[in-house]
Each structure stands twice: as C-alpha cells, then as structure tokens.
Amino acid sequence: MVTSMSQTESPQIDSARIAQVSRGLDRAEIERREKVFSVVNLGVSYNGKPALEDVTLDVHTNTVTAFIGPSGCGKSTFIRCFNRMNDLIPGAKVEGTVLYHGADLYGRAVDPVDVRRRIGMVFQKPNPFPKSIYDNVAFGPRVLGLKSGLDERVEKALHDAALWDEVKNRLKDSALGLSGGQQQRLCIARALAVEPDVILMDEPASALDPISTTRIEDLMHELKREYTIVIVTHNMQQAARVADMTAFFSVLVHEDGSARRGVLVEYDTTAKIFTTPADKRTEDYVTGRFG
Amino acid sequence: MAQARITFQEELRELEQLLDVEAELVLRSLRGAAEALVTGDAELADEVIAFDDDIDDVYLRTERAIELLLARQTPVASDLRLVLAILHSNLHLERMGDLCTTIAKLTKLSADLPSDYVLLEAFREMGERGQEMIRIALDALHQRDAGLAESLLELDELIDRSNRRVVARLLELAPENLEWGLRAIVASRCLERIGDHAVDIGEQAAFLATGEFREFSDASHDTRPLV
C-alpha cells in the first residue's frame, strides 16, 4: 500500500507557539498592544545637571519591559519618572512628555498620589512596614478607603504575589519575621492590593538569593497577564529571562570629562538585544566585553 | 571603558583555534583518502582509517569545551553566534572525517580491481576542490566574511558537476570495470558530500557575520539534475 506524506497522521503543531519559542515575542505583536506609556524627548536634571537626556520610547500593556545599563546611566532616574517619584527629590527637574494612556502624567490637574496608586513600585530592598503581614497588604486599601471586602482583597493580593500558601496561617505575625524573598513578595502584594495598572520594579531581586530571585522572575511572567511591568535590573541575564522588551542605557561623558549623562542607546525586543543588537555599544555591554 | 571578561574572550579564541586544528586533520585525511583512491594504495587507506580517531578526539574535546563554556559563561549576541557556529562546524568537520574513512574503506575493497583513468582523474580533482573548500570555509569563519562564505556555492557546483559526470562515465564502462565502478560511485558521492559540509560551514560563517541564518541553496527547490 502506498502512503503519501500528507496521508500520514501528523502531530498537532501550534505554529504561533513555535514562532514565539524560536524568535521571542514579535515586535509587531507587542506594538499592536495598547500604549501604557509614551515617553517623548524626556530629560531629567538634578540641580541643573543633566542626568538623563532625550529619551523617547513606548511601553505597551501586558508586557515586561526591562531597563539595563551601567551605573550612572540614568535607568533608575528614568523609571522614577513613570510614577513621579522624582517629584520627591529636591532639585529634580523633568522635561519632555510622559503620556500615560494618552494623558499627560505631568499635567497640572494630575494628583501624584493618584498616579502612585495606579502605578505601584517595588524597590531594591524589601521595605515592609513594622506591622503584621495582613496590615502591610491592607495598608493601601485602607488609606484609599477601600474597606469593604478587605479580607478578600488581601487574600487575592497575596495569592497574586505567590505568597498566600506560605503566610495564610500567620497573617497576624509581624512581616519582619519573613525571609528576604518573602518580604519582597509581600511588598509586591502590597503594591497589588490597590489594584494598580502598572508595577515598577527597581532592582527587585538584587538583594535576594537565587531561589527567591527565581520566584520573583516566575511571578513577573504571571503578573504580566494582568499588569504591565517595568523593571530596572543590573542583572542582564535577568532581563534576558523576564523581559519582552529591553532598553539599553549608557553614559555619555563630555570630552573634558566634566558632565556625565544617561542616554537611551537601543530599545528593541529582548530577543533582538541579546542576539543581534544594532548598536556596537549594546553589543559590548550585553556580551560583557566592556563595562 | 576598560576591556572586560578577558578570560572568556581568551577561551573563545582558543575554541576557534581548536576548529583549525580539527580542519587541519580533516585536510590531511582528505588528501590521504583521495590519494589512496586515485593510486589504489591500500596501505595509505589503512592509515586514513586509523587517523579518524585523531579527528574524533579533537571533535570530542571541542564538544566538551563548548558545553563547559555555555554552562559557565552564558554567551550572548556575537559571542553566542560564534559558539553556535563552532558547535555546528565541529560536527561538519567530524562528518567529513567519517566520509574520508568511507572512501578509504572503499579503496581497500577495490584496490585490486581494474579501474578507469578518466574517473580517477575526476576524483583527484574533486579531492583537491574539497580541500580548497574546507580552507575557504574556515577562512570565511575566522574573517567573519559572508561574501567569501557564499562563494563556496560556486565551488560546490563544480564538485556536483564532477559527481554527475561520474555517473555518465560509469554507464560507458566495460563489464570488467563495473565492480570497481560501483564502489567508485559511492566514493564519488562521499567527495561530493564533503563539499556540501564545507558549504554548511560557510552558512555558519555567514550567520556569524550577519546575525541571520539562511541556507545558501534550497535542496527542495533545486532545479539541477540529481545525477
């Protein structure tokens, strides 16, 4: 009996999945998603000294976007622009435009406190309040007057931060008794409890051990289904593992060595940045050839 | 900025040099195999067969070095492409060594049979062309030269043409030459495959240089005659 190739049983092939595995998330696919942030010609200076110049990029919904670069390149300065944290630093001046869902984040009518409710932030060092685990997570909702269904809200936030199973029987215990990794996930739960739209993470795993780091990274993959995540990281492999888009920042030094300022060198899919970056400076940085 | 990861860069260079060592051994094997085939030298054929262990040894050392380097250094971008190109090229070189061994074994089986001088001359030419292609493939890799790599395609076409002529000539042979001819057609195919492997290394060189992998020729849409 003659059997042709087309007559034989072939396994089910998910070609979209294969494309993603072989090339990473497609840039066009990312850019089709709604823009959460549109940054145009952004510059930040401290007491008249430029720290970051002329940054233009978009952040799209339900993605993880990583900012990488050497110390002093302005990546932390940049992420702080997304929830107006630079407002709290005396002498800091932000120029250019940051649109959040199309609206000017630095507009006169915008309340920075409201901004920070929608755009939560997790810092390098876990910073739980010296209160119970429950009260840490309930803090934000209470401040905002969201008192009904508080238990459910706390439980959901702890679930989403992959911490619930570890703390469900000791919610009244002090948060300071948790391990560093658990404290960081608690801080993530605290940010999630007010139902933000975006979570900014500034070096969220740099103070954690490798296992805790892996849990935070896994968590980012889960969280991006519901939230948009922006992360600053020193760890390039972490950016390679978690981010869909990666922006590489570098330091420009004046010829006389006087002023240093951060610039955006390249912004593309993480696959592109870590396989075939367009700019030599990016290549040198990600390969670790210069640093 | 100061240069960094100096040890890693040194390891990458050594890995690339290991490929040269292997290519040098394969060239020696191919020279020997072609010479033994053309002259019907069974002793030389034995040497070629034994020599394959040396090639396998370098192949395995390269393979282990790559595994260790990937595990310890997690290369990215052009460094990753270099490691991947070496990984593939290492296998292609090892296969070429195996093909030389097959030619040597065929030579031993047919050394005492009446041969055909036209075909012997064709094999000499194919062997020399194969050596030239291996050198060009390695040069293209070291020089990150996609244009040089792609020039292999023309040389490969010449070997392919010789291989096709072998079949035509075989059909003209007298019956007493046929047993030798049947073995010779397999040897010819081996020489032709060596050219293909050199083209494959060229594709790796182009990938390394450009960041994009593509096949130089498309076997499923090739309009050239098979034989």
Mean pLDDT of chain A: 91
**Lowest pLDDT segment from A183-192, A215-224, A253-262, B129-138:** A253-262
* Among A276, A286, A290, beta carbon nearest to B3: A290
Angle value at C-alpha A64, between A272 and A99, nearest 5 degrees: 105
Q: Are A79 and A67 in contact (CB under 8 A)?
A: yes
Q: Over 60: is that where the pLDDT of A7 sits?
A: no
ipTM value > 0.90: no
pLDDT at A255: 76
CB atoms within 10 A of CB B120: 15
Domain A25-286 part of CATH 3.40.50.300: yes
> Tokens 């849409």, residue?
B221
Span A158-211, pLDDT tens digits: 999 999 999 999 999 999 999 999 999 999 999 999 999 999 999 999 888 888
pLDDT at B72: 86
Which pTM does this prediction carry? 0.84
Q: Are A115 and A109 in contact (CB under 8 A)?
A: no
* Burial call A67-93: b when 16+ CB within 10 Å, e when fewer: bbbbebbbbbbbbbbbbbbbeeeeebe
The CATH architecture that domain B6-221 belongs to is Up-down Bundle (1.20)
- A100: pLDDT confidence band, cut at 50, 70 and 90? very high
Q: What is the dihedral of CA B100, B102, B107, B109, to 10 degrees?
A: 170
Please report, rounded to a whole number, the percentage of residues in chain B having pLDDT higher than 70.
95
Span B33-91, pLDDT tens digits: 999 999 999 999 999 999 999 999 999 999 999 998 998 889 999 999 999 999 999 99
Strand pairing partners for A263?
A: A53, A250
- Tell which residue, B96, B150, B169, B173, has the closest CA to residue B127: B96
The CA distances from residue B169 to A6, A290, B82, B224, in Å, are 38, 60, 43, 19
- A269: pLDDT confidence band, cut at 50, 70 and 90? very high
- Tell which residue, B34, B36, B55, has the closest CA to residue B44: B36
Mean pLDDT of the A22-29 span: 79
pLDDT at A122: 94
pLDDT at A5: 60
Q: What is the CA radius of gyration of chain A?
A: 21
Residues on A contacting B at a C-beta cutoff of 8 Å = 236-237, 240, 274-277, 283-284, 286-291
Mean pLDDT of the A133-156 span: 94
* Among B3, B9, B77, beta carbon nearest to A286: B77
Span A105-118, pLDDT tens digits: 999 999 988 999 99
pLDDT at B163: 94
pLDDT at B118: 93
Q: Over 60: is that where the pLDDT of B1 sits?
A: no
Q: Over 60: is that where the pLDDT of A157 sits?
A: yes
Domains in chain B: boundaries: 6-221
* Cβ within 8 Å, pair A287-B78: yes
* Among B1, B9, B77, beta carbon nearest to A283: B77
Mean pLDDT of the B149-161 span: 96
Mean pLDDT of the B95-120 span: 95
pLDDT at B222: 65
B84 CA to centre of own chain:
18
pLDDT at A208: 85
A131 phi/psi in degrees, rounded to 5: -135, -175
Q: Are A269 and A24 in contact (CB under 8 A)?
A: yes
Please report, rounded to a whole number, the percentage of residues in chain B having pLDDT higher than 90.
80
* Cβ within 8 Å, pair A276-B77: yes
Mean pLDDT of chain B: 93
- Alpha helical stretches, state H, chain B: 6-39, 42-73, 77-110, 117-143, 146-150, 152-170, 178-210
Q: Are B91 and A290 in contact (CB under 8 A)?
A: no
Q: Over 80: is that where the pLDDT of B227 sits?
A: no
Taking each helix axis as running N to C, give the angle between helix B117-143 and helix B178-210, from 0 to 180 degrees, rounded to the nearest 10: 10
Q: Over 60: is that where the pLDDT of A3 sits?
A: no
Mean pLDDT of the A240-260 span: 88
Residues on B contacting A at a C-beta cutoff of 8 Å = 1-5, 8-9, 74-81, 211-212
Mean pLDDT of the B194-210 span: 97
